[in-house]
A = this chain, B = another copy of it.
């Protein structure tokens, strides 16, 4: 059985399993204290939290059960061959059994550490590095088995540096690069949160974009009937990637059905870490981390846009989710408030931070560029600025929305940006990197 068919069948079983388990398990989560208040609903109902652990574990066992469909032992000895491999090439990484197993170890470690974070509320500066810890098995096995540390660089840079090839060996920095990918993906998904459905919704969009990218290569292989060795290994990589993404998207949709507006469950850090790690593992092991980053542009923008609050330049309230208006049921911008004069202090029990004076002209400029929203007191001082999240930015641009529509709007924007990047990736990138855009050459990109 072709591995994509096997994982598709398991994906369907997984979908129905999750759909059955979530409603049954939810009361036990609440009973254990794993719940949160939905701040953007009337009456702020209590919703079970960390439900993402259910699809995450389901995914893991789908991947375990898929192993016999991916790998078969060659009759010649102890080496494993990939079932889909036509030429026994050993230069693809994901298609080796130790690499596959180490990817699963990293995923499982991420689930375990994510669950522990959900349980014990690990401090932000510690939890930021949990994905790096989880990626240790992946990176150790990469080092032992593959240890290719070169990446492609654009043509004009290699010309400028007078290099003989258009790749550069990063050495130890390649490992730092891999750790960075594994830290970035889970954390960036984790901070693009705050409205019903967005945590799962964004991962579905990224998965769809990655599947389109896989199909581009697989289609290319079939069109050109795979006469090139390089094309063959690109084909293998993307069959693998596809086989891993089909169950992922299936379990994500099963979860999304419960998490979308109005949420019946919250997904928890477990989900954000787990799904981010799935992408990191695919990017690292498929050697297409740069392409992956193209599909993370909304998350990258959200991270950069958030950084003044994340790094304390601008005060960061405990929650930055948009403000729910009980009257019209729409989501409006949320703000961080500033403290302006000493008289206020006496009237306010909570001490508000002062807006640093050098930031005032910057905030005013950003406000004029429609990048933030400000509120002033009667003296003309800034008393509030909108919280620096992508969700707030979308509200500034597109106006207040119902929570469900807002999530759907962000997902559409995300798909639009990602799809544009996908097209550019396969049209402009070959020119920059010095390849013509033929199928047989294109596949060299993943190396």
Per-residue contact bits, chain A 84-128, to B (CB 8 Å; 1 contact, 0 not): 000000100000111001101100110110011001110000000
How far is it, in angstroms, between the C-alpha of A71 and the C-alpha of B137 when the chains are bound? 13
Residues of B within 8 A of A136 (CB): 61, 64-65
Per-residue contact bits, chain A 173-190, to B (CB 8 Å; 1 contact, 0 not): 000000000000000000
How far is it, in angstroms, between the C-alpha of A98 and the C-alpha of B100 when the chains are bound? 9
Q: Is the CB of B115 within 8 A of A98?
A: no
Q: A64-B137, A109-B108 are in contact. Are A145 and B101 (CB under 8 A)?
A: no
Contact of A141 among B79, B101, B121, B133 (CB under 8 A): B101
A interface: dominant SS: helix
Q: A32-B119, A79-B78 are in contact. Are A140 and B98 (CB under 8 A)?
A: no
Q: Is the CB of B115 within 8 A of A71?
A: no
How far is it, in angstroms, between the C-alpha of A78 and the C-alpha of B71 when the chains are bound? 15
Asked if A429 is at the interface of the complex by the 8 Å CB criterion, the answer is no
Asked if A421 is at the interface of the complex by the 8 Å CB criterion, the answer is no
Q: A25-B120, A32-B119, A64-B136 are in contact. Are A73 and B105 (CB under 8 A)?
A: no
Asked if A143 is at the interface of the complex by the 8 Å CB criterion, the answer is yes
Asked if A67 is at the interface of the complex by the 8 Å CB criterion, the answer is yes
What copy number does this chain have within its complex? 2
How far is it, in angstroms, between the C-alpha of A22 and the C-alpha of B153 when the chains are bound? 47
Asked if A45 is at the interface of the complex by the 8 Å CB criterion, the answer is no
How far is it, in angstroms, between the C-alpha of A102 and the C-alpha of B108 when the chains are bound? 12
Asked if A23 is at the interface of the complex by the 8 Å CB criterion, the answer is no
Per-residue contact bits, chain A 277-316, to B (CB 8 Å; 1 contact, 0 not): 0000000000000000000000000000000000000000
Contact of A105 among B65, B78, B101 (CB under 8 A): B101
Which residue numbers of A lie inside 8 Å of B, CB to CB? 25, 28-29, 32-33, 53, 57, 60-61, 64-65, 67-68, 71-73, 77-80, 90, 96-98, 101-102, 104-105, 108-109, 111-112, 115-116, 119-121, 133, 136-137, 140-141, 143-145
